[in-house]
Amino acid sequence: GAVHVTVSIGICDDTIPVARPLDRLQYADTAAYRAKRLGEDRQVLYDTGLHRESVEYRRVESLLRTALEEGRFVMHYQPIVDLADGRPTGVEALVRMRDRDGKLVPPGEFIEVAERSGLIVPMGAWVLAESCRSIAALHRSAGVPLRVSVNVAARQASRPDLVTAVYRALEQAEMPPDALTLELTESALLEADASTLDRLNELRESGIQIALDDFGTGYSSLAYLRQLPVSLIKVDQSFVGTMTTDPGSAAIVRAVTTLAGDLGLSWVAEGVETMEQWQALRE
């Protein structure tokens, strides 16, 4: 049969000054990477804008590497409460990074670089182990059963060792599988190949919940909702945050929560900050 081939080209010409010839090759490679990210089959010229971005990328990447080596990630836990009575039922584990001066770096500044560089894999393993360990310890000392929700990136989910990594974290924390929820975004689930879906199914069958994160912001494919190994939908905070002021957002929240109920799935509304939002959700 015929094979259709396209080419993505990165160009770095001599208007960009370089210290070593190797730098020019690396810059061209960065431009080629951009060409692929823009949808392939095109050429991209390495310019000052791309240069600024790639310097920033390298800065954050090296910050992440040293933070990993020096153990400078910290966990923040956001409560998940029962809408009926306000009782806490669990927490979502959110990773933060400290820079060398001890200042907290917001996740918006490093998550994307962590994903692109692959550093999300060792980082995610630490987050999973640390979250299970501290929430299980809290459960034992306070006697309050709490679930912990841990965000899992596409690159973590696609690794063959996902299942053993999760079981190991649970075992070391002495935590039952039904106290753990793994949150995956819709795009991560849509990217998932058959063996990744098998792994998620296996985890779900062992009692772990799989949550569809940030629902409503991606493709929001209703057909996939039935096929994916999902037990819980998280309504994206962009709708929850505006549901009392924007009837359109309120309609989306109503539709998603009704749909979840009809499909036999539970749902969590993200980012509830006012009593009005709380009341609207209860209704």
**Min CB(245)–Mg ion separation in Å:** 21
**Min CB(238)–Mg ion separation in Å:** 10
**Min CB(122)–Mg ion separation in Å:** 19
Window of 128-136, 178-186, 221-229, 254-262 that interacts with Mg ion by CB under 5 A: 178-186
Between residues 41 and 273, which has the closer beta carbon with respect to Mg ion? 273
- 213 near Mg ion, judged by CB under 5 A: yes
282 Cβ neighbours under 8 A, 6+ residues apart:
83, 84
**Min CB(205)–Mg ion separation in Å:** 22
Window of 21-29, 67-75, 81-89, 177-185 that interacts with Mg ion by CB under 5 A: 177-185
Number of CB atoms found within 10 A of residue 96's CB: 14
Amino acid sitting at position 52: R
Instruction: Say how far apart CA 182 and CA 162 lie, in whole Å.
Output: 11
76 Cβ neighbours under 8 A, 6+ residues apart:
93, 94, 95, 96
**Min CB(183)–Mg ion separation in Å:** 4
- 186 near Mg ion, judged by CB under 5 A: no
- 115 near Mg ion, judged by CB under 5 A: no
- 151 near Mg ion, judged by CB under 5 A: yes
Task: Please pick, from the candidates 75, 183, 249, 267, the single residue that binds Mg ion as defined by CB under 5 A.
Answer: 183
User: How many amino acids of this chain bind Mg ion (CB under 5 A)?
Assistant: 4
Q: How far is CA 234 from the centre of its chain?
A: 12
Window of 31-39, 47-55, 179-187, 221-229 that interacts with Mg ion by CB under 5 A: 179-187
- What Rg, from alpha-carbon coordinates, does the chain have? 22
Task: Please report, to the nearest 10 degrees, the dihedral formed by the alpha carbons of residues 107, 109, 110, 116 taken in order.
Answer: 120
Please report, for residues 120, 123, 127, 150, 249, the alpha-carbon distance to residue 199 in angstroms, rounded to integers and kept in the order given. Answer: 19, 20, 19, 16, 34
Window of 107-115, 129-137, 182-190, 217-225 that interacts with Mg ion by CB under 5 A: 182-190
Instruction: Say how far apart CA 213 and CA 111 lie, in whole Å.
Output: 15
Contacting positions for Mg ion (CB under 5 A): 151, 183, 213-214
